[in-house]
A and B are shown apart, each in its own frame.
Chain A
Amino acid sequence: MLEVRGVSRRFGGLEALVGVDLVAQAGQVVAVIGPNGSGKTTLLNVISGVLTPDAGTVRWEGRDITGWPPHRVAHLGIGRTFQRPRIMETMTVRENIGLGFLFRARGLPVPQAMAMAQEVGEEVGLGDRLDVPAGDLTYIDQKRLELARALAGDPRLLLLDEWLAGLTEGELQVGLELLRRLRAQGKAVVLVEHVMSAVRAIADRVVVLHAGRKILEGEPEEVLKHPEVVATYLGQDTGC
């Protein structure tokens, strides 16, 4: 279980996060929504170890991991994708995925890692492009690749930063199906997302951030219907 308690983080005069709480259980998808600049990515950065919070704690499976560096966080079974896919462009798709196997807690030797990469590549729909340089992939495929690399790390918690953004309706359904499968495997997912139809379809809980503060939390139906959310953060277009 992921347990974020009272996390605050400031950048100069800007309060990016103020006393934020977040809990994600195994087999649960928690969506974090809010307007741009509300602190969603900062929250993921605090959990994955990119940033150390000024106050508050991050606990994972009972252990206090506040301020741990990203590689140690990764070794605990926490995988991450980024808003703009961060892939290794000159490496092949197989090698990119292989990195996850190579450097996870009990990393595999190179031949096994590269062999296992095939399986995960196929799972996310990149089975036919394993030997293509990752830089040649489309934007959507790069997102898939990033998830595949995270999955290769054998995560029990996935932090996905706008992973479903920019997908066509068909691709969105495939993406949602993949997330459902991961949830069914017992993985916890924290999903920073703008695509409200996806949030409604997949999230078990929704957390709303505004100006670094958590202003609402609850079931998707109830949160997304909340007048404040509708009016202030999502405009009229809640069904998008």
Chain B
Amino acid sequence: MADVRERGESIAWAAYFLGMLVLLTAPRWGSAYLVGFCVELLSYMALVTAWTMFSGPTRYFSLATAAFFGIGTYVTVYLGGRIPVLACVAVAAALAYLVASVVGLATLRLSGLYFVMFTFGLSEFLRQFVLWFEGRLFRKVGRIVSVPFSDLDLYYALWGITAVLLLSAFLLRRSRLGYALRAIGEDELAAAHAGVNVSRVKIGVFAATASAMAVVGAILAPRWAYVLPDMAFDPTRSFQVVLMAMLGGIRHSYGPLLGTIPLLLLYEWLYARYPYPFMFVLGLLLAVLILYAPGGVSGMMEGILQRAEERRQEAMRIRAEELGHVESGEG
């Protein structure tokens, strides 16, 4: 069983790293539309990977992706043009780390549904706060983004953060921290008695992944000519990340990314044609997944590999028996 799982994992990770190399070269040969799609793909790969690093093993389902992404976006909106983009990215990461640490301290004692609701509330609170703040102080709703950051710079910066996140997720699997997160997800009390500093691990990883989400938001901001709080803190983004992860399957480290490409393609197709029933379809998909395929694509893949392995072993056993009969017949 462990062998099958490891084989599936190795194949998937090898494919991801290969895919990243292809994505690195995409601006050289791809059409403008394709490169635009790759930007979407990279940003969701980064968000899903960051989300999964914390929420996958610990099973604390966060809906705060939009909150941290939005923080990043608004850091670039406010500071872009005044300080270098890299500095914007650093400020975004630091601010999200701070917010996530405070939120983590207050909420990571909450379990299950309460944590989900709180994280969703955080995104909504920030959206409303920025709306109020902009309206009250500047009499504005949205802002024009003018940052000296070319499309190509943006692409490579996004590729960079995605690559860093993928590598981190890959290394996390078999690391001490990875085991600590998994142990927390299984049984916090037992993990603490084994010596895991549960609060520090939870808050630290939640905050670090929140930083990564903010970095994605900060890098993507120049792509938008005009930013509204409703766009930066769009709750759909949080739901989509969860949906992608669930579609891929969160039982395996490699699973969530398997859901990113199909869902993004579905998103492109559906959103262009049927913008209104779009959310309905996403909701339906989530319900079907939870009911019929809780392991997601990776869970189904493992099932197939497992059955193939069992068939192979059964065939070997039968063959060995047949050989045994022949030998005993001869003897």
Contact = CB atoms under 8 A, between A and B. Distances in A.
A60 B183 CA distance: 27
Contacts of A50: 189
A105 B251 CA distance: 29
B72 to A, nearest CB: 33
A82 B189 CA distance: 10
B152 interface: no
Given A71-B192, A75-B195, A102 B176 contact: yes
B1 to A, nearest CB: 7
B193 A88 contact: no
Contact of B186 (A70, A91, A100, A146): A91
A135 B189 CA distance: 17
B193 A80 contact: yes
Q: How many of chain A's residues touch chain B, expressed as a range?
A: 35 or more
B139 interface: no
A149 B183 CA distance: 12
B82 interface: no
Contact of B196 (A79, A95, A103, A109): A103
Given A88-B186, A110-B176, A99 B2 contact: no
Q: Which of B179, B186, B192, B194 has the most CB of A within 10 A?
A: B194
A131 interface: yes
B192 A74 contact: yes
Nearest to B194: A99
B198 A71 contact: yes
Contacts of B199: 69
B6 to A, nearest CB: 11
Nearest to A99: B194
A103 B174 contact: no
Contacts of B179: 95, 98-99, 102, 110
A15 interface: no
B174 A110 contact: yes
Interface residues of B, number: 23
A10 interface: no
B196 A71 contact: yes
A151 B306 CA distance: 33
Interface in B156-205: 174-176, 179-180, 182-183, 186-187, 189-199
A89 interface: yes
A27 B190 CA distance: 25
Given A88-B190, A110-B179, A131 B196 contact: no
B175 A110 contact: yes
A50 B189 CA distance: 8
B247 to A, nearest CB: 20
B197 A90 contact: no
Contact of B187 (A86, A92, A102, A153): A86
A107 interface: yes
Q: Which secondary structure characterizes the binding site on chain B? A: helix
B190 A86 contact: yes
A48 B175 CA distance: 26
A1 interface: no
Contact of A103 (B1, B189, B195): B195
Interface string B1-15: 110000000000000
A87 interface: yes
B188 to A, nearest CB: 10
B192 A133 contact: no
Given A74-B194, A92-B2, A109-B176, A99 B183 contact: yes
A105 B195 contact: yes
Nearest to B2: A131
A61 to B, nearest CB: 17
Nearest to B180: A103
Contacts of B187: 86-88
Contacts of B180: 102-103
Contacts of A49: 192
B1 A133 contact: yes
Contact of A90 (B186, B193, B194, B196): B186
Interface string A189-211: 00000000000000000000000
A40 interface: no
A89 B195 contact: no
Contacts of B186: 87-91
Nearest to B179: A102
Closest 6 CB pairs of A and B: A103-B195, A86-B190, A70-B192, A88-B186, A74-B195, A99-B194
26 contacts: A69-B197, A69-B199, A70-B189, A70-B193, A71-B192, A71-B196, A74-B194, A75-B195, A79-B193, A80-B193, A88-B186, A88-B187, A88-B190, A90-B186, A90-B251, A99-B179, A99-B183, A102-B176, A102-B180, A102-B194, A107-B195, A110-B174, A131-B1, A131-B2, A146-B190, A153-B194
Interface of B: 1-2, 174-176, 179-180, 182-183, 186-187, 189-199, 251
Given A74-B192, A99-B183, A131-B1, 17 more contacts: A49-B192, A50-B189, A71-B197, A74-B194, A82-B190, A86-B190, A87-B187, A87-B190, A90-B186, A91-B182, A99-B196, A102-B180, A102-B194, A103-B176, A104-B195, A110-B179, A153-B195
